[in-house]
């Protein structure tokens, strides 16, 4: 069909064909939708981040402006939370990678000839997705709550000092972040290990490479695309999360991340410019990071 | 033994990792059977009442109903829009392919809080009141890319010769699509719809920014967390979990049966 050239095409194609018109009709609704409700909101965010307080001084009322000072204010006010977000996100991503890689390796390589086992294990990997994200996180809060058997046990064996508790600490927040995003890390790594040719590993050992050497020289480099997309799929949502760090869940007074500050500014203080400036900066940081990754692997692969 | 490490250590590790990931799920399920007066923190007594009378806690049922309605509508829209894009990407040559790919990739690479706050800022600037439909709009936006990715994978496995055969037999464009292309894509479309439904149903952050006074199940849980989550919420969570696992298992069993039949 790609060879049938018919009359006038649209979509600004160089060779007007029937197919380019069909493609345009198929693409337009979805892409226009994303333009209206994904792209222009990002522009709205930038516009809002530059707004100035209304002269009437009413709460939540702002006029259009070009107040770059909003960014300076946001950084000055919330630098600890900004740095904390990225610190937590880096630690949780590395933890998730270390927990997920062996799981993905086992399912993708060791269980390869047992389709039933493989299917069952994959179901187990995605099982946490089927229970509400918030209920899962709240369950950990209950398990580690101050009077819980687990916390009492940690006190008894002396791992926690009598006046120390788990909930409200950076440890609890990073723990929750790691737990919640393990499937996002496991699945892409599994996908690339699934395609790994086992004969390459045999070749490695035939050439007298130790298992460790075969792993680092053959297996790991070949699984790198999965590791890269897993890292992105974990790091990005973690850096913007505010459920785990919320005081009603695993966080405390000193664990707030960017998301918590954006939420508080948007809903409680109604300081939309500061909330928007923080969001724009988070997005900018992510774009820099993603484009560094994309340069290595290409968007088509990530999709 | 050369591979003893992989033989025992790895399976043990994987088993322990799965025990770890299951802990909060089992916890939520167990505490859905707890008899509760005020808060569902300590275990008191076993009861079926929370399951039998879920809707006694009216807010829980209402929030659950809203979440289902939003997920159904958003899924229908995003599956239709996303499937069209996936077919275009997999079947046609057109200019601006890399821009299209980038536009589809970006929503998946944007933190939810940014998308949520951005759309909310836009509704605020334009003066749209937030509620049920603004949640639907937001959910279609963030699920669309996931639909495209899932259906595109299926389009890639489709043999173009089958469609050509249809045309050779004088099938017109719509006959070829509905009799050949669509049925062959259906498993991919179904998977995309399920994914989109799950993402919409469980979304909290984007929803919180664009819901106004409207409540959804995750939003109810978040708000209730201040005082403690009622066991009825555990019932809804566990019930959804059981249904979802059942669907996944049925799909897997059917797929393996089909594979066996084809092998014969």
3-state secondary structure of B34: strand
| Spatial distance between the Cα atoms of B230 and B176, rounded to a whole number of angstroms | 53
Residue of B nearest to A1 (CA): B164
Q: In which residue ranges of chain B is pLDDT below 50? A: 1-2
Judge whether A44 lies within some domain.
no
Hey, what are A263's tokens?
């939420």
User: How confident is the model over A198-203, as a mean pLDDT?
Assistant: 86
Judge whether A12 lies within some domain.
no
| Spatial distance between the Cα atoms of B157 and B221, rounded to a whole number of angstroms | 41
pLDDT more than 90, % of chain A: 56
Judge whether B42 lies within some domain.
no
Lowest-pLDDT range, A159-168, A175-184, B220-229?
A159-168
Nearest to A36 by CA among B148, B107, B202, B212: B107
Q: Which domain holds residue B63?
A: 58-229
Number of domains observed in the structure of chain A: 1
Per-residue exposure over A248-286, b if at least 16 CB sit within 10 Å of its own CB, e if not = bbbbbeebbbbbbbbbbbbeeeebbbbbbbbbbbbbebb
User: How confident is the model over A174-180, as a mean pLDDT?
Assistant: 97
> Residue A9 — very low, low, confident or very high, per pLDDT cuts 50/70/90?
very low
What pLDDT does A152 receive?
A: 87
Judge whether B49 lies within some domain.
no
Return the CATH number at B217: 1.10.3720.10
Judge whether A68 lies within some domain.
no
Determine whether A31 is exposed, middle or buried from the number of CB atoms within 10 Å of its CB (0-12, 13-18, 19+). buried
| Residue B24 to residue A140, Cβ atoms within 8 A | yes
Question: Which among B23, B111, B145 is the top mutation candidate for probing chain A, defined by the most A β-carbons within 10 Å of its own β-carbon?
Answer: B111
Determine whether A52 is exposed, middle or buried from the number of CB atoms within 10 Å of its CB (0-12, 13-18, 19+). middle
Asked if residue A301 has pLDDT above 70, the reply is no
Judge whether A266 lies within some domain.
yes
| Spatial distance between the Cα atoms of A71 and A36, rounded to a whole number of angstroms | 26
* B258 contact partners, CB below 8 Å, separation of at least 6: none
- Chain B residues in contact with A205 by the CB 8 A cut-off are 2
Closest CA–CA distance from residue A92 to any residue of chain B (Å): 15
Return the CATH number at A160: 1.10.3720.10
> Higher-confidence residue: A118 or B6?
A118
Strands (E), chain A: 52-53, 62-63
* B112 contact partners, CB below 8 Å, separation of at least 6: A237, A240, A241, B142, B203, B205, B206
Closest CA–CA distance from residue A145 to any residue of chain B (Å): 9
pLDDT tens by residue, A20-54: 788 889 999 999 999 999 999 999 999 999 998 88
| Spatial distance between the Cα atoms of A215 and A193, rounded to a whole number of angstroms | 12
User: Read out DSSP for B167-193?
Assistant: HHTT--HHHHIIIIIHHHHHHHHHHHH
Interface membership of B133 toward A (CB under 8 Å): no
pLDDT tens by residue, A59-74: 778 888 888 899 999 9
Beta-bridged to residue B34, according to DSSP, are B46
Number of domains observed in the structure of chain B: 1
Judge whether A46 lies within some domain.
no
Closest CA–CA distance from residue A300 to any residue of chain B (Å): 7
- Chain B residues in contact with A33 by the CB 8 A cut-off are 81, 140-141, 144
pLDDT tens by residue, A224-274: 889 988 999 999 999 999 999 999 999 998 999 999 999 999 999 899 999
What pLDDT does A5 receive?
A: 30
| Spatial distance between the Cα atoms of A68 and A73, rounded to a whole number of angstroms | 9
Judge whether A5 lies within some domain.
no
Judge whether B171 lies within some domain.
yes
What pLDDT does A18 receive?
A: 56
Judge whether A122 lies within some domain.
yes
State the residue for tokens 């333009």.
Answer: A35
Nearest to B210 by CA among B77, B106, B115: B115
Residue of B17, B137, B221 with shortest CB distance to A135: B221
Hey, what are B140's tokens?
């279609």
CB B84 within 8 A of CB A27: yes
3-state secondary structure of A100: helix
3-state secondary structure of A65: coil
Judge whether A19 lies within some domain.
no
| Spatial distance between the Cα atoms of B81 and B197, rounded to a whole number of angstroms | 15
Hey, what are A302's tokens?
């990530």
What pLDDT does A58 receive?
A: 76
pTM of the model: 0.89
CB A169 within 8 A of CB A81: no
Half-sphere exposure of A286 (CA within 13 A, CB side): 29
Question: Which among A25, A116, A124, A130 is the top mutation candidate for probing chain B, defined by the most B β-carbons within 10 Å of its own β-carbon?
Answer: A130
Q: What are phi and psi of A2, to 5 degrees?
A: -65, -10
Q: Which domain holds residue A111?
A: 77-302
* B37 contact partners, CB below 8 Å, separation of at least 6: B44
């Amino acid at each position: 069909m790609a060879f049938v050239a018919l009359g006038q095409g649209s979509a600004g194609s160089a060779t007007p064909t029937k197919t380019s018109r069909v493609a345009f009709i198929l693409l337009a609704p979805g892409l226009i939708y994303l333009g209206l409700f994904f792209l222009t909101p990002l522009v709205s965010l930038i516009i809002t981040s530059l707004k100035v307080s209304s002269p009437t001084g009413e709460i939540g009322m702002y006029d259009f402006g070009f107040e770059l000072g909003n960014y300076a204010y946001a950084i000055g006010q919330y630098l600890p939370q900004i740095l904390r977000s990225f610190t937590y996100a880096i630690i949780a991503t590395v933890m998730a990678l270390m927990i997920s890689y062996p799981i993905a390796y086992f399912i993708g390589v060791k269980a390869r000839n047992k389709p039933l086992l493989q299917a069952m294990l994959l179901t187990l990997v995605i099982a946490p997705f089927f229970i509400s994200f918030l209920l899962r996180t709240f369950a950990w809060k209950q398990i580690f709550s101050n009077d819980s058997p687990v916390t009492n046990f940690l006190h008894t064996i002396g791992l926690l000092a009598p006046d120390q508790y788990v909930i409200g600490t950076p440890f609890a927040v990073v723990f929750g972040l790691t737990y919640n995003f393990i499937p996002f890390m496991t699945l892409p790594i599994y996908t690339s290990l699934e395609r790994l040719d086992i004969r390459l590993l045999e070749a490695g050992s035939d050439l007298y490479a130790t298992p460790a050497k075969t792993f680092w020289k053959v297996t790991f480099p070949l699984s790198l695309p999965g590791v890269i997309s897993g890292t992105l799929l974990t790091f990005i949502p973690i850096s913007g999360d505010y459920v785990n760090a919320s005081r009603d869940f695993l966080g405390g007074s000193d664990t707030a991340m960017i998301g918590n500050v954006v939420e508080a500014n948007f809903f409680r203080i109604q300081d939309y410019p500061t909330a928007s400036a923080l969001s724009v900066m988070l997005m900018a940081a992510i774009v820099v990071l993603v484009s560094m990754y994309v340069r290595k692997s290409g968007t088509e692969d990530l999709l | 033994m050369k591979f003893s490490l992989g033989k025992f250590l790895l399976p043990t590790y994987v088993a322990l990792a799965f025990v770890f990931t299951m802990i909060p799920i089992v916890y939520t399920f167990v505490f859905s059977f707890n008899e509760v007066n005020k808060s569902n923190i300590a275990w008191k007594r076993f009861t079926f009442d929370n399951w039998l009378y879920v809707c006694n806690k009216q807010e829980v049922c209402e929030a659950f109903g809203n979440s289902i309605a939003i997920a159904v509508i958003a899924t229908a829209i995003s599956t239709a829009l996303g499937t069209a894009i996936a077919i275009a990407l997999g079947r046609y040559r057109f200019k601006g392919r890399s821009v299209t790919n980038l536009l589809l990739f970006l929503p998946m690479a944007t933190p939810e809080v940014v998308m949520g706050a951005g759309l909310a800022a836009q509704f605020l600037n334009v003066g749209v009141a937030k509620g049920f439909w603004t949640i639907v709009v937001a959910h279609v936006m963030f699920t669309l890319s996931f639909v495209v990715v899932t259906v595109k994978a299926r389009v890639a496995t489709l043999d173009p010769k089958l469609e050509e055969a249809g045309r050779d037999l004088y099938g017109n464009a719509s006959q070829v699509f509905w009799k050949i292309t669509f049925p062959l894509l259906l498993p991919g479309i179904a998977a995309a719809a399920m994914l989109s439904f799950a993402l919409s149903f469980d979304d909290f952050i984007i929803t919180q920014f664009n819901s106004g006074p409207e409540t959804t199940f995750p939003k109810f849980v978040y708000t209730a967390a201040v005082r403690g989550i009622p066991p009825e919420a555990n019932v809804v969570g566990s019930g959804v979990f059981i249904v979802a696992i059942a669907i996944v298992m049925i799909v897997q069993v059917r797929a393996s049966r089909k594979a066996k039949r084809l092998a014969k």
